[in-house]
Every structure is written in structure tokens, then in C-alpha cells.
Amino acid sequence: MKSIRLTAKAVPLAAALLGALVGACAEHIPPRALVDARAEFARAKSGITIQLDPTDVHEADLALQRAESAWNDSPDEPITIDLAILAQRKAQIAEAEAASLKAQQDADEAKRALTTAMSSQLQAARGQLDQTKQALNKTQEQLQAEQKAAAEQSQKLADLEAKLKDARDTIAKIAAVKDDDRGMVITLQGEVLFQTNKWDLKAGAMAKLDQIADALRGKEQPMIVYGYTDNVGTRDYNMDLSQKRASSVRDYLVSKGIPQDLITAQGKGPDGPVSDNTSLEGRAANRRVEIVVQPKKS
């Protein structure tokens, strides 16, 4: 009987206590730390963190579950707040680790690109170097060829000079030889070559010209045969006579093997006297033929 009364008393009391508890739970707002932990975990789960560092995200998940459980079981315990903070930190660790991994990936990518770019620049530089080497080799070959050609040319010139000296020595025995700005000038007196007012070569003249032709043959140097007269007679006559005499000498030298295209004839008449026309000797000196051997054009 007593126990029934007790029970009758206890039931409303228990109901009241239960009601108070339920009411208290409903009023309980989750602590700030737990709200922050939930938000942090949501961030970690939605971004690149879950892709790059799923292990730490999983740990954060477990930590959050523990915090939630503690909050359900004993919301007023200080340890509940500790667990919520711990869960938030775990999510933050996951995010920081993922950021590290992402930075490493970026660095690796940049380094790969750097290696590729350096390698391509190196290749380009090598290509340029090869081209430069080739160009240098070519230039050296050209230089050697030019040096060889110059040496040959120099040798040829020396040979030519030697031959010319020989020729000059030969000619000097039979005619006056001098050098002026036109080249080597061989002067033959008119009396030696022609009779007065004639342009046919004397027999003795031919012998001299033979020697000159022998000496000049093969030199391949351009020559001009100039004919000169004194100032006796008309200018036209003298011009004509000097041209004919120059041509006679030219034709004879050509007949003796001097190449036709290397030798020309020009009558100067009384122009360019070498002596005074007032005296007999002077006029004799002016009547002359000059064979000008021009320096060889290189």
C-alpha cells in the first residue's frame, strides 16, 4: 500500500523532471566552438582539401563526430568544448596540409615548365652555336682559299716582274726604255724604223721589233703604240703619218705573236714632243714611236 502511494507520488515527479530536462535540451544552443567546427569541416569537405588530403579530412570527421556526441551526451562539460575546438583544428590541419600539397604541385609544375623552357633555350643556343661554328669554318675555308689565291697571285706577279725585268733588259739593248705613269715606255727613233715620209718598216727595224716582240710575248699586258712626228708639215699630214706608222708597228708586233686585242695604235702627230723642234737633233728626237706597256690589270 505504501509502495503504491509512493509510486503515485513518484510518477508526477518523474514526469516533471523529464519535462524539465527535455525543455532544457531544446533550449540548448550549440556552443560557438561546435558551430565553427561544423563550418570548418564543411569547408574542408567541399573544396580541394578532400581531393588532396582525404586522410586528414577523415580524421576531422571522426573528431567532429566525437564532439557532436559529447555535445549530445553532456553539453555542459568543458571537455565538450575542448572536443569541438579539437575538431575544428583537425579540419584546419587538413586544409593546411592540402594547401601544402597544392603548393608543391604548383612548384613541381613550374619546375617542370622551367626545365622544359631551359632545355628548349639550351637547344636553341646549341643550334645557334652550331650555325656560328659552321659559318666560322666556312669563313676560315674562304680565308684559306683567299690566302692561297693571294699567295699564288703574289707569286704570279713576282714571276711576271721577273719576266718583265728580263724583257726590259733585252729591250734596253736595242731601244730606250723608261718608266712613267703610263707604264714601261719603249722609244724607237723614227729614222731607225722608217724612211722619211714613209710608214713601211725598214728591214733593220723588223729585226729590232722581232726582239721586242720576243721579249713581250706572253706577258699578257695591254700595249699602246704611239706614233709621233716633228712639227714640220701640216698637222693633218703629221697626224695621218704618225697614225700609219703606229699601225705599222702594231701590225708587225701582232704578226709576231702579240695578241691583237691587247695592242692598239694611236697617231699623236706633233703633240707630246720630247725635245725642241727648232734644232735638227730636237726634231729627230721628236720623230719616234713609243710602245707603252701598261701595267697588267688585276
Partner 1 sequence: MRIRIVTTALLSTLAAACGSSLPPPNDEWAQAQADLGRAEAGGAPSVPDAKLHLQLAAEDLQKSKDLMGQDNRRAESVIALARVEAQLALSLAKASQARQAADLAQQDLQKLKGTGGTP
Question: Residue numbers of the site for partner 1 (CB under 8 A)?
Answer: 78-79, 82-83, 85-86, 89-90, 92-93, 96-97, 99-101, 103-104, 106-107, 110-111, 113-114, 117-118, 121
Burial tier of 40 (Cβ tally within 10 Å: 0-12, 13-18, 19+): buried
Q: In terms of Cα–Cα distance, which of 272, 226, 218 is closest to 248? A: 226
Could you tell me if residue 238 is left (phi over 0), alpha (psi between -120 and 50 degrees) or otherwise beta?
alpha
Separation of alpha carbons 258 and 220, rounded Å: 8
Closer CB to partner 1, 92 or 248, in the complex: 92
Write down the least CB distance from residue 108 to partner 1, Å.
Answer: 8
Write down the least CB distance from residue 45 to partner 1, Å.
Answer: 17
Separation of alpha carbons 120 and 115, rounded Å: 8
Write down the least CB distance from residue 83 to partner 1, Å.
Answer: 7
Closer CB to partner 1, 59 or 271, in the complex: 59
Q: In this structure, what C-alpha cell is assigned to residue 34?
A: 561546435
Write down the least CB distance from residue 92 to partner 1, Å.
Answer: 5
Write down the least CB distance from residue 22 to partner 1, Å.
Answer: 21
In our burial notation (b when 16+ CB lie closer than 10 A, e otherwise), range 70-106 reads bbeeebeeeebbebbbbbbebbbbbbebbeeeeeeee
According to the 3-state scheme, what is the secondary structure of 31-57?
A: CHHHHHHHHHHHHHHHCCHHHHCHHHH
Closer CB to partner 1, 101 or 174, in the complex: 101
Closer CB to partner 1, 92 or 238, in the complex: 92
Write down the least CB distance from residue 90 to partner 1, Å.
Answer: 6
Residue with cell 698637222: 235
- Would you say 226 and 269 are in contact if contact means Cβ atoms under 8 Å apart? no
For residue 58, how many other CB atoms are within 10 A of its CB? 13
> From the DSSP assignment, how many helices (H) and strands (E) are in the chain?
9, 5
Closer CB to partner 1, 106 or 141, in the complex: 106
Write down the least CB distance from residue 132 to partner 1, Å.
Answer: 22
Closer CB to partner 1, 16 or 96, in the complex: 96
Closer CB to partner 1, 49 or 243, in the complex: 49
Separation of alpha carbons 25 and 189, rounded Å: 150
For residue 284, how many other CB atoms are within 10 A of its CB? 14
Write down the least CB distance from residue 113 to partner 1, Å.
Answer: 5
Closer CB to partner 1, 113 or 172, in the complex: 113
Question: Which residues neighbour 184 within 8 Å (Cβ) at sequence distance 6 or greater?
Answer: 164, 168, 177, 178, 292, 293
